[in-house]
Structure 1
Amino acid sequence: MAVSVTLPALGESVSEGTVTRWLKAEGERVEVDEPLLEVSTDKVDTEIPAPASGILASIKVAEDETVEVGAELAIIDDGSGAPSEPAPAAAEAPAAQVESSPAPVAEVPAPAAPAEEAPAAPAAPAGGAEGTPVVLPALGESVTEGTVTRWLKEVGDSVDVDEPLLEVSTDKVDTEIPAPVAGTLLEIVVGEDETAEVGAKLAVIGVAGAAPAAAAAPAPAAPAEAPAPAPVAQPEPTPAPAAPAPAPAPAAPAAAPAAPVQAAAPAAAPAPAAPAAPVTPAAPVTPAAPAAPVSGAEADGAYVTPLVRKLAAENGVNLATVQGTGVGGRIRKQDVVAAAEAAKQAAAAPAPAAAAAAPKAPAVEASPLRGQTVKMTRMRKVIGENMMKALHGQAQLTSVVEVDITKIMRMRNKAKDAFAAREGVKLSPMPFFVKAAVQALKAHPVVNARINDDEGTITYHDVENIGIAVDAEKGLMTPVIKGAGDLNIAGIARKTAELAGKVRTNKISPDDMSGATFTISNTGSRGALFDTVIVPPNQVGILGIGATVKRPVVINHPELGETIAIRDMTYLALSYDHRLVDGADAARYLTTVKQLLEAAEFEAEIGL
């Protein structure tokens, strides 16, 4: 039964989505609720899970295509689990095998009588072996060709149905091609590092045991020549002068069947037949496998796909030091990612010791993006459109104040361990800023408002929904703490950690991103002293938090009078829509936030 995968409703205001990446290829098996594809909307990027278990039979919407909510994205066959394409191949296999069976039967007795028949058996694979063809399947609507990166089986090997037969790399994905039927690999048509179009024949699989039978045919001929069995171990030097090309063949296991063929050739009177036999067998040709490691020599002899090589270059990973976990020790994308993460952790560990020894300039490496032209992501386009809309639709201005948060920092250092143990989240300075900003919004609703341009009215909100700007890998995202005015420090800390975690794990929903009445952006987390942040659409204010730095400040001590002391200082920058918020309004709001932070009366909320 075919199960349709459709684009679900991702929010009330979301009417369409763009397929950014397919996580599965056609023909691959998926489990229910397993991530199937990634979709980008003007609100959020999210993953679409599989509605049922089965085989991904067809992909209806290619990557970078945009469709409306409810549109069909793909079809999953939830039948027995076998791919729909190999099924008819398996059904046709018996017929093909029945037709080809008389040929081996006729050839088996032939070698017993005339010795000249032995070379004729390997001649069949050269001209096109009879059996079930292995073709390159469709791996996506936009994929027209693939490159054979590695053969997992050699000519003469036995294979089972659905057993991985070879690996193929496309511009979208690296994947394994399974055997459509059980049998013996008779012929490899497309060698490693060769590119073939979708539908092209890659190999031929014959009746199980067919290849061993053909290989055994020369064996009866060997006993016919009594002396031949003994010299079989040493005929290698004898044919060497006759044909220098087979010399490297003894290093490969495939040379074993070739030796009897050459031994039989001298027994035959006509010498011209001897050179023809070594050229015919596919076995000596297929040892392109040793050639593959040459192209990936940097990976310590294991073949590396182009995608993995590119990923390693982008992350500065030396493939020679990576231990592959793929089939036959092949290095996979996951191995490179793990190695890059391990390298980052290893670099971070000795950093404090090095800094303690002597401060050094950080190593600045050139980005792999230098000199490249890449497509703008949908998320980047949406961010740009919103920023331009905000700048063109508002009269924006920024006011800045300096705040002494020494008490806040001391209070946090004193309570952070007990707070983390009690609440289950770390106590960062951010919840203190959010708490102060929210309390000030209640006193200055002009900053927590919205201008209704079409109606010519102003809405002063009775709730404080605070958007928190999060620097994510895909771009700046702003999840919303709903009802922040009713939360204490612990509640704000938990909600902030929850939303930030959703953003970084791509689990954020459109509802988590909508409804903000005021936004806070911690630009100081990356070292900026302050920033002229842009007010988001449908809001009239945004608060930017600068970096906290220690510096000498003149303070008024109750006993010592004016004196200089080392204090923790930061800048708060309020950008606002000057159509509604005047400079005096902005200054009053910032002054209230400053007073709340410098008073630092949050002991009860953090358990002190």
Structure 2
Amino acid sequence: MSTAVVLPALGESVTEGTVTRWLKQVGDTVQADEGLLEISTDKVDTEIPSPVSGVIEEILVAEDETVEVGALLARIGDGSGAASGGDAPAAEAPAADEAPAQEAQSTAAPAENEVEASQASDQAQAPTPAASGDATDVVLPELGESVTEGTVTRWLKQVGDDVAVDEALLEISTDKVDTEIPSPVAGTLQEILADEDETVEVGAVLARIGSGAPAAAAPAAEGPAAEAPAPAAEAPAPAAEAPAAAAEAPAPAAEAPAAAQQAPAAEAAAPAPAAPAAEAPASADSDSLYVTPLVRRLASQQGIDLSTVTGTGVGGRIRKEDVLKAAESKSQAPAAAAAAPAPAPLEVSPLRGTTQKMSRLRKVVAERAVASMQQTAQLTTFVEVDVTKLAAFRNAKKDEFNQKTGAKLSFLPFFTLAAAEALQAFPIINSTVDGDSIVYPASENISIAVDTERGLLTPVVRDAGTKNIAQLAQEIADLAARTRDNKLKPDELAGGTFTVTNTGSRGALFDTPLVFLPQSAILGTGVVFKRPGVVTVDGVDAIAVRSYVYLAISYDHRTIDGADAARFLGAIKTRLESAEFTANLGI
């Protein structure tokens, strides 16, 4: 049995890596933790070790190829797979030099053998049906240090469906997070090995993806080829053209052997030998325009046509920074051209009048909310903050900030920094209750509430008290984007000591946020709005247009008194109203 080698998580914001050099080759014997290959990312160059001892049977990613975290890199087994895999090219080489009839027969033989193997496997009811020689296993990747298994909640693709690289295949649910598992390669979904509601361990094979039809469809293709072998032998020209077509389109290299094997059968079934060759360039064109789901969703949200964006990533791949830059250029268009039409009427939801089962995430949130209200004594304190100076400071710095960091300068990083500083001065707000003891953490790990289609999630900004505005803005934006795109690791949702929820992002003035155990407090930030306010100029009161925000802190009254909450909010109010953040910008 072979073991899959996948690209592990290489950092909180690293989503992909480029293979710079393979240290081992197919057939080499490796020891556990011995270096297999070198990977380069935007932040670090590192070696990927072997998870087990054995023989490298297959290498699935070429040098200079960029792959996503969790992608399948290689397979390691007892050597049997490498032997069979290594014999195939050697057998094909002399066939290319022999007569055309012999070439056609040699290419047809592997297809027939695979069909017979598939039939024999089905008759024996083996737990792992045979797959074609170019099939790639889709395995359950690591989803966090403490996560060992996951439950298949829904298959997004079915057997026979075509999938692209990084296109979502299925949804997996764990104790900590629900996420999508992407396809490591482009091809056709040939087998599904884990049913919905089935629980599987990390590293288990979930499905197989190949370049041909599913194994169940192979016998149907065999019939015409077996009935008419002569025409296949009499027409070697299209078979000879297949390698040429493959050479002209190096991107789908993994599909070349399957195309060569299927050429004789296709000629016997129908007189259209040029069709397979014509499909290869189209596949290459579609792959060259591929972007990750995160970038595609971001482009949709920003209203950006990806065909107009020039990618700056490896191989010309479009990155999220490219989409953000295009969105910024679009927003700077003349106001007359950006005139918005009248708002469309609200659409009637298809959920109206239906009954739906709660999702796993909604059940967890519901249970935790009820437990929090039953086990704690919660109340909320409000304060009004004049952020006129802060608004002016932000407007003066936001363009420079965006150019130097690539992140937008919103009010949230300022609120988060002020809260982290206040937590250091008033640690009772950052504390947790353990029996009859109060635990004061040594760091300020601030959970940021993120609204997603699946529900509310709270990824954690760790050691927020040690970071500047630029670091906070970039990390909050990264966490929010990966949360909405199911790219978070479970560990990134754990360990928070205090929460900030920006209810003002949807226009709310304020609310009374709910504290979730084991935390003792949560800060709600309302929308920043303008209204007339009283100011004192040269000792004289006057009315002026000012910018305000309401801050609300909900807290556990078992350990936090109202005076503690008021002092905490007062410290944040003073910090924000002074707007002295020049030294904290980080640019």
Task: State the TM-score bracket (shorter-chain normalisation).
Answer: 0.5 to 0.7
Q: Does residue 41 in structure 1 map to residue 174 in structure 2?
A: yes
Could you tell me which amino acid in structure 1 is paired with residue 415 of structure 2? F
Question: 1:92 & 1:607 partners in 2: Cα distance?
Answer: 69
Give how far 1:354 is off. 6.2
- CA positional deviation for 1:48: 2.2
**1:257-316: CA deviation from partner (whole Å, max 9, x where unpaired):** xxxxxxxxxxxxxxxxxxxxxxxxxxxxxxxxxxxxxxxxxxxxxxxxxxxxxxxxxx9x
Q: Which residues in structure 2 correspond to 1:383-422 (within 5 Å)? A: 383-422=365-404
Of the three residues 440, 443, 457, the one matched with 1:460 is 440
Amino acid at match of 1:17: G
**1:463 and 1:485 in contact (8 A); partners too:** yes
> Is the 8 Å Cα contact of residues 399 and 574 (structure 1) preserved in structure 2?
yes
Partner-residue secondary structure (3-state), 1:20: strand
Give the C-alpha shift of residue 97 in structure 1.
6.4
Q: Identify if the C-alpha distance between structure 1 residues 28 and 353 changes in structure 2 by more than 3 Å, giving closer, same or farther.
A: closer
Assess, with a 3 A threshold, how the Cα gap between structure 1 residues 81 and 402 changes in structure 2: closer, same or farther.
same
Shift of 1:501: 1.7
Determine the structure 1 residue equivalent to 2:508: 528
Q: Is the 8 A contact 1:89 1:181 kept in 2?
A: no
Q: Residue in 1 aligned with 2:456?
A: 476
Please give the residue correspondences for 1:299-318 in structure 2 after superposition, counting only pairs within 5 Å. none
Q: CA RMSD in A?
A: 3.7
Report SS of the residue matched to 1:418.
helix
Q: 1:89 to 1:567 in 2, by over 3 A?
A: same
Could you say what secondary structure the match of 1:85 adopts?
A: helix
The yes-or-no answer on 1:508 pairing with 2:508 is no
Deviation at 1:550, TM superposition (A): 0.9
Task: Tell me the amino acid that sits aligned with residue 87 of structure 1.
Answer: A
- 3-state DSSP of counterpart to 1:61: coil
**Shift in Å, 1:410:** 0.5
Pairing 1:127-206 to 2, within 5 Å after superposition: 182=266
Q: CA deviation at 1:533?
A: 0.5
CA contact (8 A) 2:422 2:568 kept: yes
CA-CA distance at 1:590 after TM superposition: 0.8
C-alpha contact (below 8 Å) 2:149/2:199 kept by paired residues: yes
1:85 to 211, 216, 231: 216
Given that residues 60 and 72 in structure 1 are in contact (C-alpha distance below 8 angstroms), is that contact kept between their aligned partners in structure 2?
Answer: no
Residue 493 in structure 1 maps to residue 493 in structure 2: no
Contact 1:451 1:459 in 2 (8 A): yes
Amino acid at match of 2:581: F
- Structure 1 residue 37 displacement after superposition: 1.9
* Conserved 8 A contact 1:554-1:562: yes
Structure 2 residue 194 is matched with structure 1 residue 61: yes
Residue type at the aligned position of 1:372:
T
Q: Distance in 1 between matches of 2:433 and 2:177?
A: 25
Aligned partner of 2:314 in structure 1 is none
Partner of 1:382: 364
**What TM-score does the superposition give when structure 1 sets the normalisation length?**
0.54
Identity score, percent: 50
Q: Deviations over 1:75-108 (max 9, x none)?
A: 4276x7453223333334455669xxxxxxxxxx
* Distance in 1 of aligned mates of 2:182 and 2:392: 46
2:537 maps to 1:554: no
- Take 2:179 and 2:163, find their aligned partners in 1: how far apart are those partners? 18
Q: Distance in 1 between matches of 2:144 and 2:212?
A: 33
CA shift, 1:563, in A, is 2.4
Structure number, greater radius of gyration: 1
**TM-score by structure 2 length?**
0.56
Residue 74, structure 1, aligned to residue 53, structure 2: no
Whole-angstrom distance in 2 between the partners of 1:179 and 1:457: 74
* Cα distance in structure 2, aligned partners of 1:569 and 1:84: 65
Bigger shift: 431-440 or 564-573?
A: 564-573
Quickly say closer, same or farther: Cα 1:92–1:519, change in 2 above 3 A.
same
Aligned CA distance change for structure 1 residues 362 and 88 (closer, same or farther; 3 Å): closer
Structure 1 residues 595, 66: closer, same or farther in 2, change over 3 A? farther
The residue number in structure 1 matching 2:430 is: 448
Cα 1:566–1:75 shift into 2, 3 Å = closer
Residue type at the aligned position of 2:421: Q
Which residue number corresponds to residue 76 of structure 2?
Answer: none
Q: 1:96 to 1:504 in 2, by over 3 A?
A: same
- Change in Cα spacing, 1:380 to 1:561, as seen in structure 2 (3 Å) is same
Instruction: Give the conservation status (yes or no) of the 8 Å contact 2:159–2:214.
Output: no
Q: Which among 577, 581, 589 is matched to residue 556 of structure 2?
A: 577
Using the alignment, how far apart are the partners of 1:597 and 1:31 within structure 2?
48
Q: Which amino acid aligns with 1:599?
A: S
1:171-250 aligned at under 5 Å gives the runs 182=266, 208=270
- Is the CA contact 1:42–1:379 (under 8 Å) kept in the aligned structure 2? no
Q: Contact 1:521–1:543 at 8 Å: present in 2 too?
A: yes
The answer to whether the Cα contact below 8 Å between 2:191 and 2:214 also exists between their aligned partners in 1 is no
Give structure 2 stretches of 5+ with no counterpart.
1-129, 230-257, 272-299, 301-329
Q: Which amino acid aligns with 2:544?
A: A
**CA distance 1:95–1:489, change in 2 (3 Å):** closer
Structure 1 residues without counterparts, runs of 5 or longer:
99-161, 164-177, 185-206, 210-314, 316-344
Whichever residue aligns with residue 364 of structure 1, its letter is L
1:82 and 1:409 mapped to 2: Cα distance?
A: 60
Q: 1:50 to 1:578 in 2, by over 3 A?
A: same
Change in Cα spacing, 1:369 to 1:352, as seen in structure 2 (3 Å) is farther
2:416 counterpart of 1:434: yes
Q: Deviations over 1:471-495 (max 9, x none)?
A: 1222212111111111011111111
Q: Is the 8 A contact 1:54 1:76 kept in 2?
A: no
Aligned-pair CA distance for 1:549: 1.3
On the 8 A contact 1:394/1:577 being kept in 2, the answer is: yes
Mean CA deviation greater in 6-15 or 467-476: 6-15
CA distance 1:350–1:73, change in 2 (3 Å): farther
Q: Who is 2:251 aligned against?
A: none
Query: Structure 1 residue 524: deviation in Å?
Result: 0.8
Give the partner amino acid of 1:577. Answer: D
**CA offsets, 1:302-344, max 9 Å, x none?**
xxxxxxxxxxxxx9xxxxxxxxxxxxxxxxxxxxxxxxxxxxx
- For 1:23, the equivalent position in structure 2 comes to 156
